[in-house]
Structure 1
Amino acid sequence: RPIDPKVYTQLTVKMYVSAIDAQTDPGARILWTRRDLKAYGDGAEGADWGESNYFRTYPGWHIYSIDLTKIGLLDPGLSRLEWTKAEKITGLRIDPDQKSSGKTFKSDWIRLSPRSNQQINWNSQGVSDLAAINFAIDSGDGMGVVPIHFYENQSLYDVTQPVVVLAKNGTFSFPASLPPGNQTLRAAVGGASASGFWQIDAAPLLTFTSPSPFSGEEYAASVLGDPWDFNSISDLDSTQNVIAPEVANGVYKGRHEATGSECSQQWSDSGVFLRMGTPIDPEQYRYLTFKLRMEGAAADISNGWITRIIWYDAQGFPVVGTSEDIINRVGWNTHTIDLWRGDLRDDEDPGLRDWRQDLVTELRIDLDEVPQAQTSYLDSVALHAVPVASGNLLVSWELSEQAGISITLGYDTDAAGYDGVKISSGVTGTSYLWQSSAPPDGLYYLYALVSDGVNQSRFYSDAPVRVVTSPSEVIFTQPNGVPGYVPLGEEFGRDLLQNAWDMNGADDIDRSEAGRYNGLSDPVFDKGKMSVRSTNHDPYLWLSWNINKPIDATRFKRVSLHLYSERAGQGQLWWFTNEANSQFIEGPKFTVVPGWRVYYFDLSAQPGWGGSIRLLRLDPLDKADANITIDWVRLTPKNERLFTVKWQGQNLAGSSLALYYAIDKQGTEKHVIAENIPADAGQYIWDTADLPFGVYYIFGHLKNGSGSGLWTYSTSPLGVGIDLSNLTLKLFVPIIRR
């Protein structure tokens, strides 16, 4: 929650300094930044940080109240960010002393508030025109009477002295905000003194729980059917530069050694890839929350006690986005990141894409950047959507107190000014049922004006709500009720070579001669999968072949591959023709993303794919030291096993539909059929030739122009090579609303 510097302008701190030399100690100073902590002191980033003039401090306990709009900048040639000219402040620092060592510093409280302007009046007699009043506060906390000083004038390259309040004036606008409780203000001039009593009530506090960054749909639980709760290591697709990752009691633990040969930079570059399977719609999912702990007795931000998130699209690295530094402290840290914020990306290495630029296919969390060996822990990762309201929304909140509280609710589109449309006034309790059909479709922030009869506080919801007055609806009509069916398609390895490339054994690849299997460890075949580890940056393998059974390229035009990779990179297909002295022909390159993925290749228009093909070579990944698993490779005809997926619905104009398939109704691992289909098209012709014998469920992701997106699935499966029409399936038919 950044600071709004146009609202919060008065910094007041109760602080103890053991000793002060007024001749050599310049005093204390305030620093602020609108970016990251690395901006402090960096002349190249002078527009991103500010450094106040020094202000005079005194030995013992004192209260210092600084007007940040008037204290000025110490050196405008170095730091150029004036407090009120920043849109927001994300970092605030207090330096209590500059020159001396061996001192003791203590702080009782720090308050950043609007200027109070509480008027103080008095009568004085027998004082000179230059006599100054000295103010002090007795909070009744056993610390006695503590002097208070006010600073608001600029003293370029000099120490700012406290404001002088003349006794003859008879009045003073008290700017500081004091903590709640009974406060006695003492004023003294010469040998005379007087006291006044304040009873400061704590202003009521309200936090919206709906809508909030946690009240919208959660991606892993809703889309993947399994939250990222670390009950299993399978909540991760892979890790990067991590030794012995493990989970225990719902917490991930990972360790990395000191920065080594795998890292060109000085930091560790150690991270985890969260389990995916279905791309993230960034127009729907906005708030990432996670808990993290780093081992160590003291936080060292300059030495890498920071976390960052990195997101990928289908192209893989380097088309990624990289977040700004996320600072960690000792113990458990809970971070909630608004992925739509304009300054999300790092200012030094932002990557090539924004969060909302395209579908996100991989999400990575780099837990730390410590160059030495480090152990870190991760827990409770969640990615929430913007909350949606269609018809009614139960707005809820938490209050610091309920007695005598009256609330006015409203909404606007910019979360600024509290000047939008009123919903209701005189609201009590902790919830209100809002008939959200009143405003047109769009994003709205709710706000609350909270009064306890003395104080009024104002609060916005941390997340907007997406109002949808005319929700789209879509259900699949084929397959639905009666299962779909397509005959099993022809597949070259299984039907012509009579040895399917299903990785059931060593005869699925060719290692008969040197040069046919390169840069890969000895394969391990288990449960229909081949697992290897790359040993150089150009690993490849030949698929099994028979010189007497060449591939007819005029018939077989489509290759599909089910591949797992520990790391992102690039793969490629190659082939030999059956002509004498044929050289390898360079086929399509493809982007490899971490985790499991089905890759498709339409070779019908590929240069060099024609006539008689002798064999296929697969380069699975152009990275060394990466775990790779191949499930199957298939070579099939094109457009021979077609199935028409059909749907119907309401309010579909302007919406798009993405289709996926999975082997279970939960959609544990979804694979893309097609994306960006006009939702009002009503059907899509699907080439199922790649699918092996089995049963499949079809999923749809509906998305409209405002960015909302929800899922539905076919209530009946599609049988490939198996006719399910005689089965009785009693399944719920869902209707989705966006």
Structure 2
Amino acid sequence: MPALTHSAELLVPAAADFATVTLNNPWDMADNSDVYPLLWTHNLAAATATGGVMTGTPRDTDPHFWAHFPQIARTTTTLDNPFNPIDANRFTKVSFYMWLPETMTVGSTNGRIMWHLGGESVAQFDVSYSEAPIFPVYPGWHHYTVDLKAITQTSLLAGQRWSGPWAGQVSGIRIDPSLGAALPFKIGWIRLVDGSDQTSKLSTPLVKTAALRVASDKYAKDLAVTTLARQADGSFDFGNLPPDTYKVAPLSDEDYTLAVRGAAWNMASVNDFNWASRSGWVNEGISNGKFQGATANADPYLLMDIPGDKPVDASKYRYMRIKMDVSSVPAQEAGLLVWWGSKPADFSGGNSGFIPIQVGEKEYVIDMGSKAGWAGMIKALRIDPLNGPNAGSGVTVKISSVRLTKTATSELEAVTYLADTVRVNPPPQVTLLAPSFFSGNDYARTVLGRSWDMKDTFSTPNYANLLNADFVKSIPDLGLTGNFFRGVSQPAAGGATEGDPAVFFTFQQNAKPIDASRFRLMRVRMYVPFDSADQNELTVGAVARLSWKETDFNSFVTYDMPLLPGLRDIWVDMPKVRVEGNTGVWGAELIRYLRIDPFEFRPSRPFYLGGASLHTLPTVSSVLPLSISLAGHPNAKFTVRVYIDDVEVQKTQDLRTGLAGLDVALGSVSAGQHTLKVCAEDGLNQGCTTLAVPFVRTNDAAAVSTTDAESLFAWVEALAPGLLKPNGEASGDIAGFYARCYAQSGQCIAVKDNRTYYFDGKALVDFGSSSPLIAQAKAAGF
């Protein structure tokens, strides 16, 4: 366990969190991949994430944000937008950093966490929610943590929804930043951490340190992120915090506001109070480090802010110290009175008794520990500066500070940051570039001899229920250029619910049907204009479907695939797809018809297809070539381990951040399908990624002759005129490959162990077995 030494950057391992471990994409708000793109799911008019900050714009008084959106009932999960349930038995604490505008009033709104338990039917899906107790939220940046495992139904308020505890498999989790208030908000990061992870701890030789104030410069200079309490073993747990570099200031436990609340009640802002619940004042506000207001009724009062997860331990903090100035003492004035309670806004725990007051400034020290009822955990504090029949006679009251301390005479502690900084170390992130979904052979290219590239009519043999269709070179809505098929659906006929547009990739393909036992990874690049902020779009048709037939008399249709905004590659593993009626699977059949229904809208609407392909699983022989990208601490040296069927087969050391290529020998790996996992370690953390589909090992390892390789290279050049420049470059042995490289375009095509590869200047792509490609090249006369 690292220790504070006053002279170094200390590395603390980041605790395991769901998004990093399971999704391989932490909710760090680095880009829009951290925001589920259907804005209606968040009830937002706009949302963007960039540079570590997600910004949300509400569309009404119920804004929320799904960190992990549940799978919609009766829909198809696609490889490009996979659904991963949350292991709620492991990941039990949610922690996030959120900003709300300074214009909000403390106490006027609350935050809430909700989770979704999933549901097979739409009816089940719509009611499978549970809520956590509401918690106060504040203007500016603040750190919030909720222990989800500790929440029970009995802890909720009347009317809160409860479908089950945080346990087992949970489908989704959302944050409601401001209940009942249309406030813009920002989120810096979200972590759903393993509550039992004890790796992110820091020790200190400073025995008097009871807490650490933790600050970062990421959002503002010296901005306090949180205050960490000393654990029973003397350490400080950074597990709720994301990777970053933090400054730390040791604190004693003398003052509740600094050691526990994290900020003194020093009248720097109205955040010191539950401002929305004040009463009996006129012209009240905060100015020059003081609360000031004039009394307006016989019972003026202020509620101090006590965060719901940071109550006052009455056995430790017994002295209430209020520095107050009153302009006059009215006749029959009883004096200052403090109330408290064990629940928010409940002051039935007891009171201090009347404390006589005097004109001018004075610190009133109240021994709360001597009062009946001052016990347990205090969650509500109310100060009544004056009490009496004339208390509301316009007396000016100024309050400079309020303190809760262990002793009656201590001074407010200075906050001094150490020379040490603490870096929560980011776990290595491994991105698998190859093999990929594209790695296997493509049916259109290898069997039909032409790609579904949307250049001409070969790409779409047939279509149905379109008003018009054409091949175009741009999508004006998106400012994109390329090759696209543009179709416009016909409107629904009377009584029909949709216009039923369809584009066929194969139609009565009897000569060269699709061998479904080989070709299974379907990709469709598509754009449909629709309003992602309008939930009605989904219910009236913003869904696509794939359909196929073996003969003219049977048909299989997938469950709905909800559309996502923009031009996207939809990837579907066809044997795993859910089919309407649960009849028929993609398996040993010969498929003669394959089509996509781009949407199900009633009115006429356009759509664009930017290409399609149908691939085999990635297939290799004696060597599995890997292309990976590594990210993490800039000075880290990584050890990369490759696992096949969860058995380690290779270890490579001393790799750095950036791209890396590995050749994994498969000597003892049997022929057939296998799983692939790649993990990187940096001495503190481990990060892993998996290939979402199996790869296939074959025994087809015969070397490609140079004659066959030359035929293959020439055929590829002819298929892509102008892409590989200049044509006809000399071939030769390069790093174990027989390759032809193109000086002008910076690309290469190569063969090795009866595999064909393409290098685009950055990454190596495996195009599958060379044998069928060579056969096509020779059939074409090369």
1:29 equivalenced with 2:110 (yes/no): no
- Structure 1: distance between partners of 2:184 and 2:644: 48
Which one is further off, 385-394 or 169-178? 169-178
2:537 maps to: 303
How far 1:433 moved relative to its partner? 2.1
Q: C-alpha distance in 1, partners of 2:215/2:207?
A: 23
Conservation of the 8 A alpha-carbon contact between 1:20 and 1:57: no
Which residue in 1 is equivalent to 2:458?
A: 234
Which residue in the other structure is 2:478 paired with? none
Maintained 8 Å contact 2:619/2:769 = no
Cα drift, residue 328 of structure 1: 0.6
Whether the 8 Å contact between 1:367 and 1:376 is mirrored in structure 2 is yes
Does structure 1 residue 282 correspond to structure 2 residue 516? yes
Shift of 1:71: 4.7
Q: Deviation digits for residues 625-662 of structure 1, max 9, x if unmatched? A: xxxxxxxxxxxxxxxxxxxxxxxxxxxxxxxxxxxxxx
CA–CA distance in 2 between the matches of 1:389 and 1:146? Answer: 53
The CA deviation at 1:4 is 5.3
Further displaced range: 221-230 or 286-295: 286-295
The answer to whether the 8 Å contact 2:531/2:537 transfers is no
Task: Identify if the C-alpha distance between structure 1 residues 28 and 372 changes in structure 2 by more than 3 Å, giving closer, same or farther.
Answer: farther
Q: Classify 1:375/1:356 alpha carbon distance in 2 versus 1 (closer, same or farther; 3 Å).
A: same
8 Å contact from structure 1 (residues 437, 467) kept in 2: no
CA distance in 1, matches of 2:774, 2:612: 29
Shift of residue 76, structure 1, vs aligned partner? 12
Match of 1:412 in 2: 644
Q: What SS is found at the alignment partner of 2:145? A: strand
Q: Partner letter of residue 294 of structure 1?
A: V
State how far apart, in whole Å, the 2-side matches of 1:8 and 1:312 are: 40
**Contact 1:62-1:147 at 8 Å conserved across structures:** yes
* Cα distance in 1, alignment partners of residues 193 and 505 from structure 2: 40
Counterpart residue identity of residue 119, structure 1: K
Matched to 1:333, the amino acid is: R
Who is 1:359 aligned against?
590
Q: Give unmatched runs, 5+ long, in structure 1.
A: 151-164, 414-418, 474-665, 667-707, 717-729
Indicate how the Cα distance of structure 1 residues 125 and 431 shifts in structure 2: closer, same or farther if over 3 A, else same. closer
Relative to structure 1, the CA distance from residue 174 to residue 79 in structure 2 (aligned partners, 3 Å threshold; closer, same or farther) is: same
Report the Cα distance in structure 1 between the residues aligned to 2:687 and 2:526, rounded to whole angstroms: 32
Please state if 1:252 is matched with 2:476.
Answer: no
Query: Is 1:119 aligned with 2:201?
Result: yes
Shift of 1:273: 1.8
**1:453 Cα shift?**
4.0
Q: By how many angstroms is 1:363 displaced? A: 2.2
Quickly say closer, same or farther: Cα 1:186–1:283, change in 2 above 3 A: farther
**CA–CA separation in structure 2 for the residues paired with 1:77 and 1:392:** 57
TM-score by length of 2: 0.49
Indicate if the aligned counterparts of 1:442 and 1:466 stay in contact, CA closer than 8 A. Answer: yes
Tell me whether 1:332 sits opposite 2:567 in the alignment. Answer: yes
Give % identity: 20
**Cα shift at 1:178:** 1.3
CA distance in 2, matches of 1:310, 1:2: 19
- Tell me the CA shift for residue 210 of structure 1: 2.7
Cα distance between partner residues in 1 of 2:106 and 2:115: 22
Deviation at 1:379, TM superposition (A): 1.0
| Alpha-carbon distance between aligned partners in 1 of 2:135 and 2:532, rounded to the nearest angstrom | 29
Distance 1:713 1:170, change over 3 A: closer
Residue pairs, 1:253-652, within 5 angstroms: 253-261=486-494, 264-265=496-497, 267-275=498-506, 277=509, 278-296=512-530, 298-304=532-538, 306-316=542-552, 319-329=555-565, 331-341=566-576, 344-345=577-578, 349-350=580-581, 352-356=583-587, 358-400=589-631, 404-413=636-645, 419-426=646-653, 428=655, 430-469=660-699
Instruction: Give the drift of 1:226.
Output: 1.0
**Across the two proteins, how many residue pairs are aligned to each other?**
452
What secondary structure, in the 3-state scheme, does the structure 2 residue paired with 1:215 have?
A: coil
CA distance in 2, matches of 1:95, 1:284: 46
TM-superposed deviation, 1:299: 4.4
Give the secondary structure class of the aligned counterpart of 2:520.
strand
Partner of 2:439: 215
Distance in 2 separating the partners of 1:314 and 1:280: 9
Residues 455-476 of structure 1: per-residue CA shift (max 9 Å, x gap): 3222222332112237899xxx
Q: Distance in 1 between matches of 2:100 and 2:186?
A: 7
- SS for the counterpart of 1:28 is strand
8 A contact 1:290–1:335 mirrored in 2: yes
In structure 2, the partner of 1:505 is: none
Q: Where do residues 94-173 of structure 1 align in structure 2 (5 Å cutoff)?
A: 94-100=175-181, 102-114=182-194, 117=198, 118-120=200-202, 137-142=215-220, 145-148=223-226, 171-173=235-237
CA distance, structure 2, for counterparts of residue 231 and residue 80 of structure 1? 52
In structure 1, what is the equivalent of residue 139 of structure 2? Answer: 59
Q: Say if 1:254 and 1:35 are closer, same or farther in 2 by CA, change over 3 A.
A: farther
What SS class does the counterpart of residue 137 from structure 2 fall into? coil
What is residue 273 of structure 2 aligned with on the other side? none
Cα deviation for residue 24 of structure 1 reads 6.6
TM-score relative to the length of structure 1:
0.52
How far off is 1:434 after superposition? 2.4
Q: Distance between the aligned counterparts of 1:106 and 1:381, measured in 2? A: 38
Give, in angstroms, the shift of residue 317 of structure 1: 6.4
Amino acid aligned to 1:313: K
Aligned residues of 2:427 and 2:685 also touching (Cα < 8 A)? yes
CA contact (8 A) 1:63 1:149 kept: no
What is the CA-CA distance between 1:69 and the residue it aligns to? 4.3
Asked whether the 8 Å contact 1:241–1:270 carries over to 2, the reply is yes
Contact 2:530 2:537 in 1 (8 A): no
Q: SS of 1:303's equivalent?
A: helix
**Inter-CA distance 233–186: structure 2 relative to 1 (3 Å threshold):** farther
Give the conservation status (yes or no) of the 8 Å contact 2:622–2:701.
no
Distance 2:775 2:205 in 1: 84
Determine the C-alpha separation between the residues in 1 that align with 2:162 and 2:493.
36
Cα contact 1:321–1:353 (8 A) shared by 2: no
Larger RCO (CA within 8 A; separation ≥ 6):
2
**1:590-615 Cα shifts (integer Å, max 9, x gaps):** xxxxxxxxxxxxxxxxxxxxxxxxxx
1:16 corresponds to 2:99: yes
Report if the CA contact (8 A) 1:139-1:184 is conserved.
no
In structure 2, the CA distance between the partners of 1:380 and 1:17, relative to structure 1 (3 Å rule), is same
CA shift in 2, pair 1:224/1:202, >3 Å = same
Q: CA-to-partner distance for each residue in 1:352-379, whole Å, 9 max, x for gaps?
A: 3223363333222222233444222221
- 2:545–2:599: 8 Å Cα contact kept in structure 1? no
Give the secondary structure class of the aligned counterpart of 2:444.
helix
Structure 2: gaps (5+ residues): 1-81, 252-257, 260-403, 405-411, 474-482, 704-718, 720-767
- Give the aligned residue type for 1:409: R
Q: Residues 136 and 327 (structure 1 numbering): CA distance in 2 closer, same or farther, change over 3 Å?
A: farther
CA contact (8 A) 2:623 2:665 kept: yes
